[in-house]
Homo-oligomer: A and B are copies of this chain.
Amino acid sequence: MNIALIGQGFMGRAHSNAYNQVAHFFELKHRPRLKLLCGRRADELRTMAARWGWEETTTDWREAVTRPDIDVVDIAAPNSLHAPIAIAAAEAGKIVFAEKPMANTLDEARRMAAAARGVRTMVWFNYRRVPAIAFAKRLIEEGRLGRIFHYRATYLQQWGNDPSRKSGWKLEKAVAGSGVTGDLLSHLFDTALELNGPVSRLSAMQTTFEAGREIDDAAAVMVEFANGSQGTFEATRYAVGAVNQNRFEIHGSRGMVRFNLEDLNRLEFHDATIDAAEQGPRSILVTAPAHPYGTNFWKPGHIIGYEHTFIAALGDFLRAVERDEEFHPDFGDGVAVQSVLDAVERSAASGAWTTPEKAGV
């Protein structure tokens, strides 16, 4: 399977690592081949290709789409390029991977999904593959939380307050589409839809702290989920003291789970069905053989890091291909998230409670 990766930034590195590492930790019939690296800064591109083992480079992403020897087009370019590249790649019959947010608008996302009807796709919502989150999903599916009352999620970063980081494409509306809504809420809602099901309606606010900036520096959302639970979401780049806190807690009639990405090898689980005197949140180190991905990486207690979530997503995708099975999150899942983000933006603009549009293409 020949890969073309478009993107030479942080995500380009994370994906390159995954392609290099996936066969070390997942039993695969075929290894991905790092064929073509695309990016606009030609000189850096060669250095990066040499470092990570890409065979060729190009500064024109269309090459990735048109070359017949490319099987997968992996888009880690700035957000506004997702739709054009993905549509071209899908129309060329390629497997398409897209970084999150899938797109800058719901319309874009739908057009991407429509174009990709006949091809396999993946959205890099890598946090689904955090072992602790996969374990939370298992507990929920087994009914261990019972009826869900509350879903509470925050994604707290602080770099917005850093005077040295006042520019970059993530702050430009034309490129990024939005601020934390696309960048961080997208992660929170992918996890929420996965763990807690569809959103019925929501009310949102977006806040911009920096004068003259067009994108949202922070956002908050109140949610009614279809299962009757109450949801609250908050994302920000101005949470001074928090480096990368993707946190959630879910309270149900039979138990609770709690997670924080800064300590991603742990899940807190409270079992409300045991003797009352013995109840309390358990701090579970999710590194044992019995845990998701527990036999892929190291021994119990030998923790994994951020990068392993990409490796696991890729490993699961490649095995799904080998076994001819479904894989999620695909572009359909990406549209579902985008539909919620679209409702967030409309609600923040109107001040009214808003229902996400049906996600279907």
Contact = CB atoms under 8 A, between A and B. Distances in A.
B278 A281 contact: no
A154 to B, nearest CB: 7
Kindly report how many copies of this chain are found in the complex they form together: 4
A59 interface: no
What does DSSP make chain A's interface, helix, strand, loop or mixed?
mixed
Nearest to A209: B149
A222 interface: yes
A152 interface: yes
Contact of A278 (B21, B242, B284, B308): B284
Given A205-B222, A218-B230, A290-B277, A285 B149 contact: no
A92 interface: no
A279 interface: yes
A58 interface: no
Interface in A262-298: 262-265, 268-272, 275-285, 287-288, 290-291, 297-298
B278 A269 contact: yes
B352 A149 contact: no
B241 A251 contact: yes
Contacts of A277: 135, 284, 288, 290-291
* Residue with the greatest number of chain B CB neighbours at <10 A, chosen from A23, A252, A275, A300: A300
Contact of A272 (B149, B241, B287): B241
Contacts of A14: 298
B218 A220 contact: no
A251 B249 CA distance: 20
A236 interface: yes
Given A238-B251, A239-B150, A240-B256, A205 B203 contact: yes
A138 to B, nearest CB: 9
A323 interface: no
A82 to B, nearest CB: 21
Given A10-B299, A149-B218, A305-B305, 4 more contacts: A149-B239, A209-B228, A240-B256, A241-B258
17 contacts: A10-B299, A16-B24, A20-B20, A161-B253, A205-B222, A220-B222, A240-B270, A241-B256, A241-B279, A243-B300, A271-B278, A277-B291, A280-B283, A302-B305, A303-B305, A304-B307, A352-B352
Interface of A: 10, 13-14, 16-17, 20-21, 23-24, 51-52, 135, 149-150, 152, 154, 156-159, 161, 203-205, 207, 209, 218, 220, 222, 224, 228, 230, 232, 234, 236, 238-245, 249, 251-256, 258, 261-265, 268-272, 275-285, 287-288, 290-291, 297-308, 351-353
